[in-house]
Amino acid sequence: MTWSQAVAEGPLGDAHAQLAAAVGHLGYDDGTHQMLATPRREMQVAVPLRREDGSTAVYSGYRVQHNFSRGPAKGGLRFAPNVDLDEVRALAMWMTWKCALLDVPYGGAKGGVAIDPRAHTTLELERVTRRYTSEILPIIGPEVDIPAPDMGTNEQTMAWIMDTYSAAMGHTVPGVVTGKPIALGGSLGRAAATSRGVAHIALLAMEAQGFKASHASAAVQGFGKVGRDAARFLDDAGVAVRAVSDIDGAVFNKEGLDIFALAKHVDATGTVVGFEGSEPIDPAELLTLDVDVLVPAALEGVLTGANAGAVQARIVVEGANGPTTKEADQILTDRGVLMVPDILANAGGVVVSYFEWVQANMAFQWSEQEVNSRLKERMTKAWRDVVAFAGDRSLTYREAATILAVQRVTEAHRLRGLYP
């Protein structure tokens, strides 16, 4: 294989390394590798904002559409101060593999604005969202690219995008985004779908490793869009969630935290810090606690070569995108830790986003029970596919998941052929 692409360190480097390993295993040629590695479309935009104090700020916005071979592009939109183009490229690539692995008829995309939402008012965030939407409007749409919530964004953000896009089209277009409010055509069960999928896969991984949920323990990094409900679902299944963290700190109880009470505390105070019935710990310590299952559900690159050797969990279930660096993944795998990759573990969100899109196209709504049942069926099938593929070829679950996904995307590409 002679084609290569120089990339920076970080998530994009890890994403390219994973792809290169899959391509090598599958024996694909240089041109196929280049096609799989190169985003089909990228857009970088300036997002000016008139702040409420009368000043003007300008933020950088991005949208990367990695692949269209299996269908329209799909991926979240994040508002975070450190968002950059390479991060968005990596996340878009991982979305391509995630959709293929779960057999969802989408390609991968991702978007971001380099802004700290906690430092802005709701009105300012609305202005940023609408301006960003107007800038990327030519490349999104229900049959082109469908954004969804991610870090720093929510169903209200999606409502603003839908309204801005619909105003430009001259009619209401519910299918342009997913993760919308229920009142605007959102799907029942969507808000907790990623968390539900993480918990479901974690329980399957525990079962495979011989753990009973009622005798197992877990630590969850992040108590936001993914971690909060993942902790709740694990707690409901009988798992003792000993520690959780957020951007402000971390709390611990050896016997297991009262997740319901913790959620009420966070609603009242905005943070896990100070929760009665817990003791504070260093957030970095959470990753190395003596627990059966570790769920990193916050940021990329939190498990590194520096801390992987101290991880005591027997199972790591990646609730976040790319939480484990390449070096850390090798260390943990060599130590016998079962690594459940993000493209499998946190795929519940895109699965129910697909269900929401289908419902929008049908102008019909499924019951929450039906949505959750269909989600469980998809996640379970993907888990079994990965386990079987890995077992037949002596691969790790990350290798198996990536190879399966890359194989499916390449098959679709080859069947479609190259436009002359």
Give catalytic residue positions: 110
Q: Which two tokens mark 232?
A: 């709740």
How far apart, in whole angstroms, are the C-alpha atoms of residue 44 and residue 337?
39
Strands 73-79, 107-113: pairing is: parallel
Q: Which two tokens mark 131?
A: 């301006």
Strands 249-252, 279-281: pairing is: antiparallel
**Which of 137, 69, 150 lies closest to 108 in space, CA to CA?**
69
Number of Cβ within a 10 Å radius of residue 27: 8
- For 139-165, give the secondary structure using H, E and C: HCECCCEEEEECCCCCHHHHHHHHHHH
Residue 272 — φ and ψ, nearest 5°? -80, -20
**Which of 100, 110, 115 lies closest to 46 in space, CA to CA?**
115
CB distance 264 to 271 below 8 Å: no
Q: What angle do CA 113, 183, 142 make, to 5 degrees?
A: 55
Beta bridge partners of 245: 221, 250
**Which of 146, 171, 144 lies closest to 161 in space, CA to CA?**
146
How far apart, in whole angstroms, are the C-alpha atoms of residue 302 and residue 291?
17
3-class SS at 395? coil
Return the CA Rg of the chain: 21
CB distance 233 to 260 below 8 Å: no
CB distance 188 to 365 below 8 Å: yes
Q: Which two tokens mark 202?
A: 């974690």
How far apart, in whole angstroms, are the C-alpha atoms of residue 282 and residue 370?
41
Find how far residue 89's CA is from the centre of its chain.
Answer: 14
Q: Is the dihedral of CA 98, 102, 106, 112 positive or negative?
A: negative
Q: Which two tokens mark 114?
A: 């380099």
